[in-house]
Structure formats: structure tokens, C-alpha cells
A and B are shown apart, each in its own frame.
Chain A
């Protein structure tokens, strides 16, 4: 499953990157790659069952602590 996930992200990269390179959009390519890597890491964490915090629960807890 992890390999499949990496493969999907690789395909997404290959889908977009050649066009950006051809037009010499290096900055765009860099931001695209970084965001894609962030997405890949988060997806892999979810896939492997790492307990990422729930966003709204995080705000609720933070708010309860403040008030």
C-alpha cells in the first residue's frame, strides 16, 4: 500500500513537472514539489495509522485551556 501511494505521488509529479520544466517555471516547480512532498508525508502518516491530531478537536482543547 505504501509503495502504491508513493507510485501515485510519483505519477502526479510526472504529470505536472515536465510541462513546468519545459516552460522554465523553476520557482513553480519548487513550490509544487515541496507541497507534493508535504502531501505525501501526511498521506503516508495517515496510511501507517499514525494518530495525527484532529484539527477541530485541537481548537476545542486549546480554547478550553484558554477559557
Chain B
């Protein structure tokens, strides 16, 4: 298995990249319009709660990843069943990101390029990264996340002449139920998907810093997403609610002295880099988890066939963006809650009960 070690700082950056992932170009909760920053703030709160649950579980079983914890708590049969459920979740997350990647490129830049011509090279690089191990993923992530955050900070200056603060008002004009629902959606995607890091936490070299690193990453990602979506709403106003890729669209209308124009490459670049890390982490968790499920000695050979499966899933994940958005609006909150809240709660509850039973039985 992978013996690579990453530092707490690298974990923070990985959490940031993973969370920013595909959400940066295809955000959910846009129906809340100018309240989007508040939605992200609430979503971040929810995401931190999910992270707390995961970290509590990890604290009870230090040095064990999610699948090992399942086997320790539920025994080999039910434990493996729980792990299988999570494998499906990772597959759908990775495949979904890959699907968004193709949809985004096909509807913006490469309109006439066949899907496979975009997917295959991407998957080959992802498989290569996955086979190199978590250390390489973490190190390759460092310049990418710095570039992404740098570009987003520069964007604040770029939109100064077209940003209208009035677009961010009136504040809280939507019913609370709408805001709560959208916040829940954001809490499970992108923040809740961080449950995948339960597979990576044992690889951190200073275990006492794990919790701080995860929270730091979530807050960092929350801030970045809040900035970029507030800019989108500030520039586009009400139009942002109906656009599929609002971030992409607002970069298109940046115009500084007719010199700096058509900067839509920036959000594409952000998405390509962050999406790349997200898909790679999903593939790593999938290959590592599958190897653990079958008690294998190495996960590396599984990267290729699982990469192929990711490719197939990416082709059959959603028929159109509108269907994808409908899925996120209607199903994802429940679906995500099952993996971010219900399953970890059941695991934690069972672990606590079994721990108490064992203590009472001991002489």
C-alpha cells in the first residue's frame, strides 16, 4: 500500500482544492441570488459540522482510514458493505466532476470536439498521478491551488469597473426555507464531499494537526468560493440566477481599457486545476479503498481499470446540464446527507455503544 506521507499544510491545501473543485464553475444554490455568500457561509457551517463528525470518528480510531474503521466497528461483512456504499459515492463524485469537465469544455471552448478526445487524455494524467501516490498528488496540488487563489484575488481588481455593489442587495429577500434548503445543498456539495479525506487522514505525518488542517482547508475554500460567487452576482446581477456557468460568464464581460478583455480562460484554468485534483483524489480513494476491500498489498494496478470505470461513469452521469442541476436541487441534499451525516453517525454511534459494552464486560 501507499507509504507516502503528507504534511498538515499539504492536507489543508488538498481540502481547499477538493472543495473548490467543480463547484467554482457550476455552483448550486444560485436561486438564492444575492444571498449566495450567506448560503456559502451557512453551507460552510454545515460542512464543518460534518467534518467534526468525521474527525470525532477518526479520533476514536487514530491512524485508521474510513474503511478500516468500518471493519473495526461493524465486523468484516457489514463493514465491507458500508465501504462499498462509500466506493459508489466516490465513483459518482469523481465521475460527476469528470462529466462537468466535459460539459463545460464542450459548451464553451471545444464545441465540436468529441467527448472522448477530451476525456481520455485527462483520465490518463489522472491515472498517472494516482499511481504515483498521495505525496505526489499533494505536491502537485501546491502550485495549482496557489495559482487558483492568486487568480481569484487578481479578479477582484479586474472587475472593479463593472462590479455593482447594489446587485448584492436587497439582503435576505428570499424565504428562510429557500435559503435553508440551498445552504443544505451547499453543505453537502461541495463541503460534505470532504468525507473522502477520511481515506487520507492516516497519511498525515503530524496527527495532532489533522483537525486544524481540515478546518483550515474548509474555511479557506469557503472564503474563495464566497469571493468568486459574490463577484459573479455583483457583476451579473439577477442574470446570474439563470446562467449555468455564471463565473465563466462574468469573466467574459471584463473589459479594462479594451486591453484586458475576454478573460474567460481564468475560470476555465481554475476549474481545470481544481477539478484535476478532485478527480485524482477520487480515483486515489477508489483504488486505495478497493485494494483495502479485497485485502490487496498494493492499490497501484487498480488505478487503470478504475480510471476506465470513471470514464464510463462520466459518459453516463447526466444527459444534460439542466438534468444535472435538477438533480442537485432535488436529490443531492438527501443523497449527500446520507453519506456525510447518516452513515458517519451510525458508525460513531455503534462505535460508542460497542466501546461502552466492552468496558462493562471487562472485569
Q: CB within 8 Å of B: which residues of A?
A: 12, 15-16, 19-20, 25, 27-29, 31-32, 35-36, 38-40, 42-43, 46, 52-57, 59-60, 63
Closest chain B residue to A33, Cβ basis: B305
With A31-B294, A32-B301, A60-B323 already in contact, the answer to whether A55 and B318 are too (CB < 8 A) is yes
Interface size, B (range): 20 to 34
Q: What 20 new A-B contacts, CB under 8 Å, besides A52-B316, A55-B317? A: A12-B304, A12-B305, A16-B304, A27-B295, A28-B301, A28-B302, A31-B296, A32-B302, A35-B290, A36-B305, A39-B309, A42-B312, A46-B316, A54-B318, A54-B323, A55-B92, A56-B318, A57-B323, A59-B331, A60-B327
Task: Give B84-103 interface residues, CB cut-off 8 Å to A.
Answer: 92, 95-96
Say whether A60 contacts B305, CB under 8 Å. no
Q: CB within 8 Å of A: which residues of B?
A: 92, 95-96, 290-291, 294-298, 301-302, 304-306, 308-309, 312-313, 315-319, 323-324, 326-327, 330-331, 334-335
Say whether A56 contacts B309, CB under 8 Å. no
Best-buried of B95, B295, B323, B327 by chain A (most CB within 10 Å): B327
For B304, the chain A residues whose CB sits under 8 A away are 12, 15-16, 32, 36
With A25-B297, A28-B296 already in contact, the answer to whether A55 and B305 are too (CB < 8 A) is no
Say whether A42 contacts B309, CB under 8 Å. yes
**Complex partner residue of B294 from A27, A38, A40, A53, CB under 8 angstroms:** A27
With A39-B312, A55-B317 already in contact, the answer to whether A28 and B324 are too (CB < 8 A) is no
For B331, the chain A residues whose CB sits under 8 A away are 56, 59-60, 63
Say whether B305 contacts A35, CB under 8 Å. yes
Say whether A59 contacts B327, CB under 8 Å. yes
Closest chain B residue to A66, Cβ basis: B334
| Dominant SS among interface residues on chain A | helix
Q: List 15 A-B contacts (CB under 8 A).
A: A20-B301, A25-B297, A27-B296, A31-B291, A31-B296, A35-B305, A36-B304, A36-B305, A43-B308, A52-B316, A54-B318, A54-B319, A54-B323, A56-B318, A56-B323
**Complex partner residue of B302 from A35, A42, A57, CB under 8 angstroms:** A35
Per the bound structure, the CA–CA distance linking A19 and B298 in Å amounts to 12
For B326, the chain A residues whose CB sits under 8 A away are 60
Per the bound structure, the CA–CA distance linking A42 and B298 in Å amounts to 25
Per the bound structure, the CA–CA distance linking A3 and B306 in Å amounts to 21
For A35, the chain B residues whose CB sits under 8 A away are 290, 302, 305-306, 309
Q: How far, in Å, is A52 (CB) from chain B's closest CB?
A: 5
Best-buried of A15, A29, A31 by chain B (most CB within 10 Å): A31
Closest chain B residue to A53, Cβ basis: B316
Q: How far, in Å, is B96 (CB) from chain A's closest CB?
A: 8
For A32, the chain B residues whose CB sits under 8 A away are 301-302, 304-305
Say whether B294 contacts A54, CB under 8 Å. no
Say whether A38 contacts B323, CB under 8 Å. no
Say whether B318 contacts A63, CB under 8 Å. no
For A12, the chain B residues whose CB sits under 8 A away are 304-305, 308
Say whether B327 contacts A56, CB under 8 Å. yes
Closest chain A residue to B316, Cβ basis: A52
Q: How far, in Å, is A66 (CB) from chain B's closest CB?
A: 10
For B316, the chain A residues whose CB sits under 8 A away are 46, 52-55
Q: How far, in Å, is B193 (CB) from chain A's closest CB?
A: 15
Closest 8 CB pairs of A and B: A35-B305, A39-B308, A56-B327, A36-B305, A56-B318, A42-B312, A32-B301, A63-B331
